[in-house]
Chains A and B, each alone.
Chain A
């Protein structure tokens, strides 16, 4: 009897420590869908580049604008999907979406991500096009590593993978799109599916 109560106490302590620091309603399925959007976007960009293979793609060209617009649409759709699925999962788990843990998660994710975003825009402005793709991967990876303290550990491994990919991408300038396909497409689908099967399917 007594021993059973002690065990329950330990379980309760562990549970409270986790619940008060980690946001566990993050949806793995959102990761999978973000990966799919990224792949579709990348195929479209690849099509754009191939169909204009005999022209230079300059900053002012329509092709370039379409490429940038595609990137932003993919980002926007991914964020919306992540938000909707997370709200749904939070409801199911009886967790509030906007609680101290999720606030910390968002803040810690946003700081490196916005730094990277501004850095990438400055690179674009100054004509260092080859570095944009790796820099975005590296800073996205750092954002994941930073945010992982407040949610599932798996996000940390996703982040580390993205950082390594970004560093390799610096050495393979000109293959930026290929690295994005792997980093934002395949990695998201892989880690998202892994998290989905690990945490969501049974609950």
Chain B
């Protein structure tokens, strides 16, 4: 039991972060507007959560220009994908135990 709880990742202990990671697990990349639209959050809220995940090295942020418009893309890192997979497994095990 103790082992499982260790795998529950505090970095994912928020709906929006959970959402960001879920989207980046199944998409090569996602830009800011796509995340905003799917998660239904404000700019500031989304930015603070993406920063938190970037600080953990779970996602990469790529800034580029499409024409004159700045475009920010988010990509899940290898570590991020691994951590998220472990988090899901831990959640599933906890559900089975209860």
Contact = CB atoms under 8 A, between A and B. Distances in A.
Smallest CB-CB A-B distances: 8 pairs: A16-B22, A3-B98, A20-B23, A13-B22, A17-B26, A6-B91, A16-B19, A17-B22
Interface stretch (B30-38, B48-56, B60-68): B30-38
A96 B88 CA distance: 29
Interface string A11-44: 0111011011100000000000000000000000
Contacts of B94: 2-3, 6
| Range class of the A interface residue count | 10 to 19
Interface in B43-98: 88, 91-92, 94-95, 98
Given A20-B27, A20-B30, A13 B38 contact: no
A100 interface: yes
B20 to A, nearest CB: 9
Contacts of A14: 22
Contact of A10 (B23, B30, B88): B88
A9 B87 CA distance: 11
A20 B98 contact: no
B8 to A, nearest CB: 9
23 contacts: A2-B94, A2-B98, A3-B94, A6-B94, A6-B95, A9-B18, A10-B88, A12-B15, A12-B18, A12-B19, A13-B18, A13-B21, A13-B22, A13-B88, A14-B22, A16-B38, A17-B22, A17-B26, A20-B23, A20-B27, A21-B26, A99-B37, A100-B30
Interface of B: 15, 18-19, 21-23, 25-27, 30, 34, 37-39, 88, 91-92, 94-95, 98
Contacts of B95: 3, 6-7, 10
A136 to B, nearest CB: 32
Contacts of B27: 20-21, 100
A145 to B, nearest CB: 19
Contacts of A20: 22-23, 26-27, 30, 34, 38
Given A12-B15, A16-B22, 9 more contacts: A3-B95, A3-B98, A10-B92, A16-B19, A16-B39, A17-B23, A20-B34, A99-B34, A100-B27
A99 B27 CA distance: 14
A12 B39 CA distance: 11
Contacts of A9: 18, 91
A165 to B, nearest CB: 32
